[in-house]
Amino acid sequence: MATKAIILPFLSIICLFGCNITPNKESKMEKKIVIAHRGASGYLPEHTLEAKAMAHAMNADFIEQDVVLSKDDVPIVIHDIYLDDVTDVASKFSERKRKDNRYYVIDFTFNELQTLKVTERFNPKTGQQVYKNRFPKWKASFRLHSLQEEIELIQGLNASTGKNIGIYPEIKAPEFHQKEGKKISEIVLKILSDYGYHSKKDNCILQCFDAKELQRIRKELKSELFLMQLIEFPEETKHLDFFATYADGIGPWYTQILDKKVEGRWQFTDLVAEAHQLGLKVHPYTFRADALGEFTSFEKMVHTLLIDAEVDGVFTDFPDLVLKFLEKQNHEF
Ligand code: G3P
Ligand code: CA
């Protein structure tokens, strides 16, 4: 006890100088957390190792990995089951598209995927960059990578900087993988376990949109990790009681928390209060400084959700801006 009393203030002083050492998972989850959505993707092409290294340097609490399997069962860190909106697959392997004109990660081996150039997200039909003021399309040189490579990068940076930044993998499209004869959850859980992520204390939060699969991960595959149930559609918010039987939190779209504006102030739905009553953390997505929705500034957006609506953390493409906001808040109180 006495040792803890001496060490904790010491760690806080270190944190003032840019490190983010957190002694264990529980203490990290007690504060509001910043999740680097696809890395520092507001500044570098999403899900590149460069975007992850930048997010680590910014001191995000967690760095996100969306995971899809290759033909040879290598978990690739990429947002979609498709390749053609972030790579040059259409020019390198033009004959490998499916009938729907899309190119699928699952149709390529890891070696083939590593030959592709990665770029800032664009619309494959028009070629237009989605976020116009972000990193310019096709500039510099970026590649796809595996989940293992990314974990090694984050754990390596944790070792070399003394930080304790967590990972936040998402199992993408489990039903699609199953139809293709692939066991994505089993493969991902094995890798997480190989790298030391077993329990809720291990600085890893596992997320999935598919409730059936996330429940299976807890009940059948016996995972003891911190599990987040992602929510896509508003009607799913009615199932919090069910989610609480296997998950530790929910990840809704932030608009599901907003109700209406009364005299210039946002009123909120019951989602956060009900989730908290069930002991569920709430981490809404996605906070983008260049896609503000109904807000007039990023600061107002973050304040409304993180402070007024009392969510527990946010997925953001701009982790530096949310961290700066939180630092300012801490100084004001
Ligand atoms: O996983 C949280 C957030 O990333 C969900 O949206 O579509 O960016 O994976 P998406
Ligand atoms: Ca995601």
Q: Does residue 288 have its Cβ closer than 6 Å to ligand 1?
A: no
Does residue 164 contact residue 22 with C-beta atoms inside 8 Å?
yes
Which residue's C-alpha comes closest to atom 3 of ligand 1? 285
**pLDDT for 4-14, tens place per residue?**
333 333 333 33
CATH class label, 37-332: alpha beta
pTM of the model: 0.91
Angle separating helix axes 147-161 and 49-58, nearest 10 degrees: 30
**pLDDT for 55-94, tens place per residue?**
999 999 999 999 999 999 999 999 999 999 999 999 999 9
Which residue is catalytic, options 37, 145, 177, 283?
Answer: 37
Residue that is written with structure tokens 């102030």 in the block: 265
pLDDT at 30: 76
Ligand 2 ion: nearby residues, β-carbon < 5 Å: 66, 170
Which residue is catalytic, options 79, 145, 177, 283?
Answer: 79
Q: Does residue 248 have its Cβ closer than 6 Å to ligand 1?
A: no
Q: Report which of 23, 21, 36, 57 is spatially closest to residue 283, judged by C-alpha positions.
A: 36
Is 198 labeled as catalytic in the residue annotation? no
**pLDDT for 45-57, tens place per residue?**
999 999 999 999 9
DSSP 250-303: EE-BGGGTEEEEETTEEEE-SHHHHHHHTT-EE--B-BBTTB-TT-SSHHHHHI
Q: Give the distance (Å) from ligand 1 centre to CA of residue 315.
A: 8
Amino acid at 200: K
Say how far apart CA 184 and CA 177 lie, in whole Å. 7
What's the gap between Cα 276 and its chain centre? Answer: 21
Q: Does residue 37 have its Cβ closer than 6 Å to ligand 1?
A: yes
Peptide bond connecting 109 to the previous residue in cis, omega within 30 degrees of 0: no
Q: Does residue 285 have its Cβ closer than 6 Å to ligand 1?
A: yes
Q: Does residue 168 have its Cβ closer than 6 Å to ligand 1?
A: no
Beta bridge partners of 93: none
Domain ranges for the chain, please list them. Answer: 37-332
Q: Give the distance (Å) from ligand 1 centre to CA of residue 6.
A: 40
Is 37 labeled as catalytic in the residue annotation? yes
User: Is the pLDDT assigned to residue 26 strictly greater than 80?
Assistant: no
Say how far apart CA 186 and CA 234 lie, in whole Å. 29
